[in-house]
Structure 1
């Protein structure tokens, strides 16, 4: 597949190339490294990301590109960039460029198996949670051997934290996210903090844990987001939409996930998989989604269990 990537410039007087952008940051190509620059002057988040990445070493997690990782930007007073490995394209834009065709299922499976390995390392060996898993935060590296291989790497660790935290700390870390990428337990905690001013999405749930000082397992939030992101990659659609206050996720709350999969729109998506998946494989991936989307976080599998699931084996 030939990739055609649009290029942007910072300004007419600057030759640096913007290769990625979000509400919070820009990624600039500078020679053979990527320079992550936050919008505004919040250097603390870059320092936090550096501190997290400096303790990680996994094939499928982005690496710092220098032993001197920070660089002051010329002509940008007070702005600092963090030097990172230079990848080819994030999964969101890779899928967007491929449309209307979808990425074949074996390739999606390979990408997400490697992502699951990175998350297992993060959860089990480092006791950390990523907290922001989405297509935009999976960077693809194309390795030219006898045939092109894709090595995905998890990026953007600015919101990473210890996997076990106090419930009372949730609001500040999650309050400005898109509702469509939030696990239900996070929506519940945000709802408790909003005092009636929340959006319809945040009023969808009643909290099942009223103890503000209880321990919260963010690795299970990663599992839910892993499921959401896999769904995005396979079907080029969101699994749920919270923003209008109603969502088919109620089927999972009521422990009737079969009603979710029987919807006409969802059946059409599943039929798309028949091009390169057997009926057994389709049933296996449905079972994997059912596990990742469990309403009670404690009932969701670990990443080790996900890697042992029939769909990945």
Structure 2
């Protein structure tokens, strides 16, 4: 997966519609194989991030002008395992529809490439935000963000989806909506309660000890550990386990050795300690985290109570509005009066 792939806010560019591979391939081919335009729908702009087999680009919907993030996957570089992982990412993102999870609007499949059209945030990622606050964020602000992350992961786990790569780089700010959202489900997977997983994945500084040991592990518990690391970083300004080299970092994680600075409240330190437990069975459940004293009185899902629609005709100019109306009428979606209503 690509860590910082979604950096900003765009509402749905149009009603979600997956093009069938032949149509998409034909349309992309007519526009120069998608070098500057995807399937006649999106103009590609600057690159936001790169991975082994994918590039994430900023793009603009040709009719509405709305901006999105597009994950461009080179299908020729997808070996068996990578292809399976990508398919799992798409399945999990389609399944997880939550106000605190970056939305996958549609998937466009062409002969050579696969395009994932993603919601674009407008405020950068949480890692950069933390790095701008030496010593960490104020706890009132940290609570506001952390409660939303916990709310999103709780939703994922109820759908039996484990993220497995939770870290501040994969939490994106949506300032216009006033929320944070999870992204990069490249290591996500479905799990059966009580059944162990075996795949080793994630980033060293955020990974649970059992994953690093290569043991079988309980899926939800590895996300709980990573939540503990994220909360520590929010209030302390640096990771709990980060030494001069990977070997020393690994030893610190295995021994569960970390130090909470004195400016962190006792309640917050207690919550961190309940998540950063060496034994997965001793870690707090999501219900216990949500019910912890430190998080009381915090709205875990301000996005779900937002009165503003995710998209609006007010966002586009009169000329663009007329083009959209004409396109919808030509497509026999409805007559002008019905569309305008």
User: TM-score, normalized by length of structure 1?
Assistant: 0.67
Q: In the aligned structure 1, how far is the partner of 2:276 from the partner of 2:134?
A: 27
Q: Which of 70, 77, 92 is the matching residue for 1:41? A: 77
Q: In the aligned structure 2, how far is the partner of 1:65 from the partner of 1:114?
A: 21
Q: Which of 143, 150, 168 is the matching residue for 2:176? A: 143
Q: Which runs of 5+ in 2 are unaligned?
A: 1-6, 8-34, 37-43, 61-66, 297-341
Aligned length: 240
Flag the 1:174–1:85 CA change in 2: closer, same or farther, 3 A.
same
Matched, 1:18 2:47: yes
SS of equivalent to 1:50: helix
Aligned pairs (5 A) from 1:133-172:
133-143=166-176, 149=178, 151-164=179-192, 167=196, 170=198
CA RMSD in angstroms, aligned pairs only: 2.8
Aligned pairs (5 A) from 1:151-230:
151-164=179-192, 167=196, 170=198, 173-174=199-200, 177-189=202-214, 216-230=217-231
Contact 1:163 1:217 in 2 (8 A): no
- The answer for the alignment partner of 1:294 in structure 2 is 277
- The answer for the alignment partner of 2:327 in structure 1 is none
Flag the 1:178–1:128 CA change in 2: closer, same or farther, 3 A.
closer
Flag the 1:128–1:78 CA change in 2: closer, same or farther, 3 A.
same
Q: In the aligned structure 2, how far is the partner of 1:220 from the partner of 1:26?
A: 31
Deviations 1:50-91 (A, max 9, x none): 21121222111111223xx2254xxxx823220011112221
Q: In the aligned structure 2, how far is the partner of 1:18 from the partner of 1:101?
A: 32
Flag the 1:237–1:102 CA change in 2: closer, same or farther, 3 A.
closer
Q: Which has the higher relative contact order, 1 or 2, with Cα contacts under 8 A spaced 6 or more apart?
A: 2
- The answer for the alignment partner of 1:119 in structure 2 is 153
Larger radius of gyration: 2
Query: How far did residue 110 of structure 1 move?
Result: 0.8
Q: In the aligned structure 1, how far is the partner of 2:129 from the partner of 2:54?
A: 19
Q: Which of 49, 59, 62 is the matching residue for 2:102? A: 62
